[in-house]
Structure 1
Amino acid sequence: MSNQPTFDIVLDGATRSIEAGTTGTTLFVDAREVVAMKVNGEPWDLDRALPAGAVVEPITLDSEDGLNILRHSATHVMAQAVQELFPDVNLGIGPFITDGFYYDFGGIDAVTPELLREIEKRMKRIVKENQTFRRRDITEAEGRAELADQPYKLELITTKGAGAESASVEVGAGGLTMYDNVRRDGTVAWKDLCRGPHLPSTKLIGNGFALTRSSAAYWKGDQNGDSLQRIYGTAWATKDDLKAYQTRMAEAARRDHRRLGAELDLFSFPEEIGPGLVVFHPKGGILRHEIEQYVIDRHIQAGYDLVHTPEISKGGLFHTSGHLPYYADTMFPPMLADEERDAEGNITKAGQEYYLKAMNCPMHNLIFRSRGRSYRELPLRFFEMGRDYRYEKSGVVHGLTRMRGFTQDDSHTYCTPEQAGEEIRRQIEFFLSILKAFGLDDFYLELSTRDEDGAKKDKFIGSDADWEAATRTLEKVCTSTGLELVPDPGGAAFYGPKVSVQVKDAIGRTWQMSTIQYDFNQPERFDLEYTAADGTRRRPIMIHAAKLGSVERFIGVLTEHYAGAFPAWLAPVQVRLVPVAEAFDAYVDDVAARLRARGVRVEVDHSDDRFGKKIRNASKEKVPFTLIAGGDDADAGAVSFRFRDGAQTNGVPVDEAIEHITRVIAERINEPAGEKLTRD
């Protein structure tokens, strides 16, 4: 009988007595699916001894925490394989990321596809070796001694990750830990500075991993820092999960809006203009116009007042709003204006600093403040298609979904504190109805609050009481919608909490769309007031809202959601008319004229291409309705419909064809099946 003292822990909500020194490995010995554990909410390795009073939860490989640990363990295996190939490589950092992992390396000139295959081959060998991940605490002096030949690791030990958030995977908070990869004979195959946790052994990584790509990177993300090679991979609980992921990625590549934008002649990103800036071609211009006009019309119907503001302003405006200095890194550097020079061109009077606007709210505040306001006017809703500019780093700019110049469908509502809850509920319903109109109807809500960590609270302004009241208001409204509500601690704007609508697209990816932010700070900063019913002067609450997020980003998401096959009401070309032979040109021209008279966007293919190629071209360009006319059609005053899926309906009278097309467009039908012509 053991003489070890015992104490209680809580496992899966039940109190359990264990001996001192008991590890997770012993606790879960009969649960082979458990690969790690949470101890008081923090992921731990299984081989760590449990403390008295701990709340313990199992982590399985296929859970979110389990997959993150799997991917982090795969990162170590990849780095071990790379160091086998390049013994003098400088190791950077290697975190898990969404659906995968990466590791940064210094001292590698280039990563070729052949090198990726060789690294992956070595990883598979390491996995089969069943090396054990073993954690040990070390002092800073021990870390510097063990990693004396690794300059980046030494810097992390010295700075404890300062300057790189992802470096926390290496050092974290508190003491330092090292992880050894130990072979079956007890020898150490490889080691890395890391806070863990990891899988019990490499064998549990299995065969559900693959290396995907490489890219250039900078040490700690600093463009002035060392240039590194970053190798990416993905890892899943099973090989079938890996194959499913690879299938999703192949489908995502097929839907990539940058490729489709070029193929469909919608937009482009000329190098001469610069990264993060787009030009819309005629077809893309029509698509953009239809989206913007619909959103503008909906705002007018909902009681919003249209406003317009300039794209540049004196810097003092953004100091008043608080965006300088809180938001300075994301704003374009200032430019000088109004300076005076002498005949030789020397500045005799300093100029005023002007900034490109990164947000519209400060200018909307000036409109509110331009005259006295009464409680009778509230809620007062301003709306603008505002053109904004943000200095995103070139490395993160990505097509239409991450840009430097973009248009926000931006509104700012001024209301009393008592009106705020109902106004937010009303606006969330408004968001969802707009998204549904575009065929997006699978969503949940995310509530972003400030980080309550003392050191990080400094990046947020306002009193604790104001933050508490604002957060509770948003939480109550979100809960009342019945939608799933996901917390996002630390994700709030610096001036207040926010709610975002997260939308799933046709292949299950999640995109942040509409946002609503509760702001009690800017009314104070701009000294905004209204006259209350009792004659006193009071501060309004300010509610920021964007329904699409940005028009450009929304177009990118919509392009991928529909794989370029936009619903008829949005399609740049709604109807393509194709004569079977030149003899029927006049007939199809007449049909086209009748459609145009009803507001339909029509093209007629009078090219010299063969008939079959004309049909293929219409299909390739994803035109919703291709109308074909030959001798029988002309004699009967009819056309034949060809739909995007290849289905065809022949001999449809022109009047019936026009009525069907205009009805599908007018009703904004978003489902391909709804565009089909059904006849009794």
Structure 2
Amino acid sequence: MSENIIGYLDNDNNIIDTQSAEETAGLTPIEYDNSEKALEIIRHSTAHLMAQAITELYPNSQFFVGPVVDEGFYYDFRVDQKIGEEDLKTIEKKMKDLIKKKYKIEKYEISKDEAIKKFANDDLKQAVMRRIEDNTLSIYKQGEFEDLCRGPHVPALRFLNNFKLTRVAGAYLGGDEKAEMLTRIYGIAFADKESLKAHLDMLEEAKKRDHRKIGTEMELFMFNEEAGAGLPFWMPKGAKLRVKLEEILHKAHRVRGYQPVRGPEILKSDMWRTSGHYACYGENMYLTEIDEQEYGIKPMNCIGHIQIFKQTQKSYRDLPLRFYEYGVVHRHEKSGVLHGLLRVREFTQDDAHIFCTPEQIASEVIEVVEFVDSVMQLFGFNYTMEVATKPEKAIGEDAVWELATQGLKDALEENNLPYTIDEGGGAFYGPKIDVKITDALGRKWQCGTIQVDFNLPQRFEVEYVAEDNTRKQPVMLHRAILGSFERFIAILTEHFAGEFPFFIAPTQVIFVPIAENHVDYANELKKTLMLEGIDAEVYDKNDSLNKRIRTAEKQRVPYVAIIGDEEVANKSVAIRNRRSREQYNLTQDEFMVELTQELQKGKI
């Protein structure tokens, strides 16, 4: 066996580590490199190396789970003293010392009953085993350290030289907010030093672009823990940005044949029982009682749109019928996962539902994909698509799910659109296409979604009159382009580092009059711009000119215009273009033409 092989892939693309692959014929070798499968093995093995180091430094530690995640790996554990960010270097040093001991990683198997006895004094191991249905369990051992694990792992510690522990956090045992808080340490690992350095450089840049930091500096939004966690407040500048984004999408929806609607934000729980939300999503809903009847605050907008569709009789000639709503929804996210605007308890979806015939599914899906493409191009995002299939917790018959899933695949394949599969990642009522965008730092984000649903129309007895005068059930396509305004604005903020495109910038122009006698002309220009839908401000406070210019530029405003004697006399402006890093003079009319052209770039 080659020294650089760290595992194998079977015919189903499952990873098998070198110790489990007794017969390698027909298996595909996994080389030690930065491929997705290789990194999964490397990072999972590094998590165990970290656990071994923690065990030696903190002998009474007990470990729960240590999976690979999108951002690298982590391990949850109990320790009898506080571990902070300052301790990570000590743990890293111990990990490097362990690598020098050249331990091999060995695997052995025991029965579940034997494992229960072996770890009888470790309640965290007992909790792990309660989650495992298999009667035979595998244990991985390196030196004196061993832990329950399915694997896979590299053959030896010598493959684990390029890692970095990134942060310490708290994590509830099993994700249960009522359970014990464990310590969690995150880390990252690669096959070579260069990739590790590039990733750490990206993390540093990400810190500078953090939307929470920029949002505070630019006064876009705020949170108030006294008012409630995960509930964003939009400040004037953030609200202006958001309104511009909403207006761009509003026009784009209308020209594509969508009709605006709005449903209530609270409905009787019986509606949510009929839809399946109560059974499949109830733990994420906020419930209350009115007139001795239970109501649920909506976590999704679909039921409201169904009721609007049903209000009048529809014919096949009315289909496809496209409803859209900027729908405010509430979901009970656990406090530990709340993260700025990226994970909140109240948010607004750019939601739409398309009622169509089965024959119209493919064309409607492609129309939505083209809509997605136009929005992604507007902001310079690359994106990929993923077909998510039936989850464990779902409603509807398998045959219906297979029909809906194949409909999505056919629509993409017939138009030569590449996609990957996310097994079990669908919504509880139907399969979906998830849109994953890549930002300026190469990070992937889940945003838009297109979902095919036969189940809700059936449950709510939604019908239309077909061409042969029979009553038939329409298909319901759930769709969002951005996902939510909150999440998309967070991504935009980090993608552009707050340097928003002119057409959505909260403040687009700041006028800085040099002296008092220049203020009237600056205010005249501001009024002219505001009438054209361009947000402008005048900085005429009693500060030095340089300080006012610096203050304006800190707001990441696209244009700063200086107004002095020459500008007043000639009806012109002295421009500092933050985007092009240029300074130049324009007449008032020329300036308006330039700004109008910039606004036009925001059309889709």
Task: Give the TM-score range, shorter chain.
Answer: over 0.9
Q: 1:330 maps to what in 2?
A: 284
The TM-score normalised by the length of structure 1 is 0.85
Matched, 1:664 2:604: no
Q: For the residues of structure 2 that align with 1:631 and 1:646, how far apart are their CA atoms?
A: 25
Q: For the residues of structure 1 that align with 2:580 and 2:503, how far apart are their CA atoms?
A: 20
Aligned-pair CA distance for 1:33: 2.7
Give per-residue Cα distances to partners, 1:309-362, cap 9 Å, x unaligned: 110010000111111201111112x21111xxxxxxxxxxxx000110111111
- Write the mapping of 1:466-615 to structure 2, written as runs, cut at 5 A: 466-615=400-549
Contact 1:389 1:406 in 2 (8 A): yes
Aligned-pair CA distance for 1:133: 0.2
Q: How many residues align?
A: 603
Q: For the residues of structure 2 that align with 1:391 and 1:598, how far apart are their CA atoms?
A: 41
Tell me the amino acid that sits aligned with residue 193 of structure 1: L
Q: For the residues of structure 2 that align with 1:245 and 1:649, how far apart are their CA atoms?
A: 36
Return the match for 1:373 from 314, 317, 324: 314
Contact 1:638 1:654 in 2 (8 A): yes
Q: For the residues of structure 1 that align with 2:387 and 2:135, how far apart are their CA atoms?
A: 29
Contact 1:133 1:181 in 2 (8 A): yes
Matched, 1:363 2:335: no
Decide whether aligned partners of structure 1 residues 539 and 577 sit closer, same or farther in structure 2, where only a CA change above 3 A counts: same
Aligned-pair CA distance for 1:501: 1.6
Q: 1:73 maps to what in 2?
A: 45
Q: 1:449 maps to what in 2?
A: 389
Aligned-pair CA distance for 1:625: 0.5
Q: Secondary structure of the equivalent of 1:132?
A: coil
Tell me the amino acid that sits aligned with residue 599 of structure 1: G
Q: 1:261 maps to what in 2?
A: 215
Aligned-pair CA distance for 1:214: 0.8
More deviation, 514-523/623-632: 623-632
Q: 2:142 maps to what in 1?
A: 181
Q: For the residues of structure 1 that align with 2:214 and 2:180, how far apart are their CA atoms?
A: 35
Tell me the amino acid that sits aligned with residue 380 of structure 2: L
Tell me the amino acid that sits aligned with residue 525 of structure 1: R
Aligned-pair CA distance for 1:229: 0.8
Aligned-pair CA distance for 1:49: 5.0
Q: Secondary structure of the equivalent of 2:352?
A: strand
Q: 2:145 maps to what in 1?
A: 190
Decide whether aligned partners of structure 1 residues 658 and 426 sit closer, same or farther in structure 2, where only a CA change above 3 A counts: same
Return the match for 1:132 from 79, 104, 109: 104
Return the match for 1:395 from 336, 339, 349: 336
Aligned-pair CA distance for 1:617: 1.2
Q: Secondary structure of the equivalent of 2:336?
A: coil
Tell me the amino acid that sits aligned with residue 77 of structure 1: L
Aligned-pair CA distance for 1:104: 1.4
> Percent identity at matched positions?
40
Q: Secondary structure of the equivalent of 1:275?
A: coil
Q: 1:226 maps to what in 2?
A: 180
Return the match for 2:204 from 246, 250, 256: 250
Contact 1:568 1:574 in 2 (8 A): yes
Q: Secondary structure of the equivalent of 1:327?
A: helix
Compare relative contact order (CA 8 Å, sep 6+) and give the higher one, 1 or 2: 2
Q: For the residues of structure 2 that align with 1:220 and 1:650, how far apart are their CA atoms?
A: 60
Structure 1: state its 5+ residue gaps: 1-27, 163-172, 183-188, 339-350, 671-680
Decide whether aligned partners of structure 1 residues 198 and 577 sit closer, same or farther in structure 2, where only a CA change above 3 A counts: same
Q: Radius of gyration: which is bigger? A: 1
Q: For the residues of structure 1 that align with 2:289 and 2:195, how far apart are their CA atoms?
A: 55
Aligned-pair CA distance for 1:658: 2.0
Tell me the amino acid that sits aligned with residue 448 of structure 1: A
Contact 2:450 2:477 in 1 (8 A): yes
Decide whether aligned partners of structure 1 residues 221 and 596 sit closer, same or farther in structure 2, where only a CA change above 3 A counts: closer
Give per-residue Cα distances to partners, 1:405-454, cap 9 Å, x unaligned: 111111111111111211111122122223323x1341111111115xxx
More deviation, 588-597/532-541: 588-597
Aligned-pair CA distance for 1:52: 8.1
Q: 2:68 maps to what in 1?
A: 96
Q: For the residues of structure 1 that align with 2:329 and 2:27, how far apart are their CA atoms?
A: 48
Q: For the residues of structure 2 that align with 1:55 and 1:33, how far apart are their CA atoms?
A: 15
Tell me the amino acid that sits aligned with residue 443 of structure 2: R
Q: For the residues of structure 2 that align with 1:373 and 1:49, how far apart are their CA atoms?
A: 60
Give per-residue Cα distances to partners, 1:632-671, cap 9 Å, x unaligned: 333433221112157333332222122212221233399x
Return the match for 1:43 from 1, 15, 26: 15
Contact 2:167 2:186 in 1 (8 A): yes
Contact 2:248 2:603 in 1 (8 A): no
Q: For the residues of structure 1 that align with 2:35 and 2:308, how far apart are their CA atoms?
A: 50
Decide whether aligned partners of structure 1 residues 592 and 198 sit closer, same or farther in structure 2, where only a CA change above 3 A counts: same
Contact 1:34 1:61 in 2 (8 A): no
Q: For the residues of structure 2 that align with 1:234 and 1:55, how far apart are their CA atoms?
A: 28
- Write the mapping of 1:30-429 to structure 2, written as runs, cut at 5 A: 32-40=3-11, 41-48=13-20, 50-51=22-23, 54-157=26-129, 159-161=130-132, 173=134, 175-182=136-143, 189-206=144-161, 208-332=162-286, 334-338=287-291, 351-429=292-370
Tell me the amino acid that sits aligned with residue 354 of structure 2: T
Decide whether aligned partners of structure 1 residues 364 and 650 sit closer, same or farther in structure 2, where only a CA change above 3 A counts: closer
Q: For the residues of structure 1 that align with 2:267 and 2:126, how far apart are their CA atoms?
A: 45
